[in-house]
């Protein structure tokens, strides 16, 4: 699913059945390609920003309808959280960044971060939307995140080899990832124990899904 689809979801405790908060924003560290966690707001109509945050490692599951945590203790105080969550503005803003190929061709802008939510949520791809001359949104391409990508505040450089694996819809992106990883023979996220192609296929459904 897109990281932005998580915004607004309730955070629900498995041991209590209570909604503890709503996801306010998704904090992503592009340099380490890690989803660090979520900033939170109170639920409801006039829900204000909360001082509590949720580290990605304290998340049990991210589904289309809720972010599940074991208990209320999963929420931590902003000041105790890892640096990215304590100061979300400090991370590079990736959405809206221009995407270009390593051979100098303009691709469009990064319009989404695709996250894998099967276990500990992590970023696995970028959605790149072609910008047309009229300023309207063109078609989207979904590219796997690769070690060879370079990202700064100015641009995301996509290696042309990675572009060969780009898919044009989110539903098929799980297969895109699998074929990319099989061809490259190594895990995408060295810091993560979860890799699509090597995950036992017990779960059945596709790893990435669009919100209904």
Partner 1 sequence: MNDHEQQAPPPAAGSPPSSVEPVSLADMVGLPVMAADSAEHLGEVKGFVVEPSGRRVMKVHISGKRRKAMFVPWSALTIGPDMVMASAANAAEPGDDDRDQDTANGDLTLVGARVLDTTGNERGTVTAGEVEPVTGRVVELRANGASVGPAQIHSLGRYALVVDATPWL
- Which residues in this chain contact partner 1 in the complex, by CB under 8 A? 9-10, 12-19, 60-68, 117, 204
Taking the complex as a whole, the smallest distance from the CB of residue 62 to partner 1 amounts, in Å, to 6
SS3 189: coil
Taking the complex as a whole, the smallest distance from the CB of residue 177 to partner 1 amounts, in Å, to 20
The owner of tokens 């060969």 is 164
Task: Between 111 and 117, name the residue whose CB sits nearer to partner 1.
Answer: 117
Distance between CA atoms of 168 and 17, rounded to whole angstroms?
Answer: 38
Written as one string, the DSSP assignment of 12-58 is EETTT--EEEEEEEEEEETTTTEEEEEEEE-SSTTPPEEEEEEEGGG
Task: Between 67 and 128, name the residue whose CB sits nearer to partner 1.
Answer: 67
Task: Between 17 and 48, name the residue whose CB sits nearer to partner 1.
Answer: 17
Taking the complex as a whole, the smallest distance from the CB of residue 204 to partner 1 amounts, in Å, to 7
Query: H helices of 81-211, where?
Result: 83-86, 160-163, 173-184
Task: Between 10 and 159, name the residue whose CB sits nearer to partner 1.
Answer: 10
Taking the complex as a whole, the smallest distance from the CB of residue 37 to partner 1 amounts, in Å, to 16
Which token pair is 108? Answer: 């469009």
């Amino acid at each position: 699913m897109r990281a932005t689809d998580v915004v607004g979801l309730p955070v629900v405790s498995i041991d209590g059945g209570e909604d503890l908060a709503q996801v306010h924003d998704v904090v992503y560290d592009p340099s380490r390609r890690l989803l660090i966690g979520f900033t939170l707001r109170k639920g409801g109509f006039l829900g204000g920003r909360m001082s509590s945050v949720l580290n990605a490692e304290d998340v049990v599951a991210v589904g289309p309808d809720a972010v599940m945590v074991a208990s209320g203790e999963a929420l931590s105080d902003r000041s105790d959280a890892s640096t990215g969550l304590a100061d979300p503005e400090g991370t590079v803003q990736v959405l809206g960044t221009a995407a270009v190929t390593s051979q100098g061709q303009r691709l469009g802008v990064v319009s989404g971060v695709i996250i894998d939510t099967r276990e500990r949520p992590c970023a696995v791809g970028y959605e790149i939307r072609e910008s047309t001359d009229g300023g309207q949104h063109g078609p989207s391409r979904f590219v796997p995140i690769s070690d060879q990508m370079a990202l700064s505040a100015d641009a995301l450089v996509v290696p042309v080899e990675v572009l060969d694996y780009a898919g044009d819809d989110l539903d098929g992106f799980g297969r895109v990832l699998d074929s990319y990883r099989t061809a490259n023979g190594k895990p995408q996220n060295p810091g993560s124990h979860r890799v699509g192609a090597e995950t036992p296929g017990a779960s059945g459904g596709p790893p990435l899904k669009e919100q209904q």
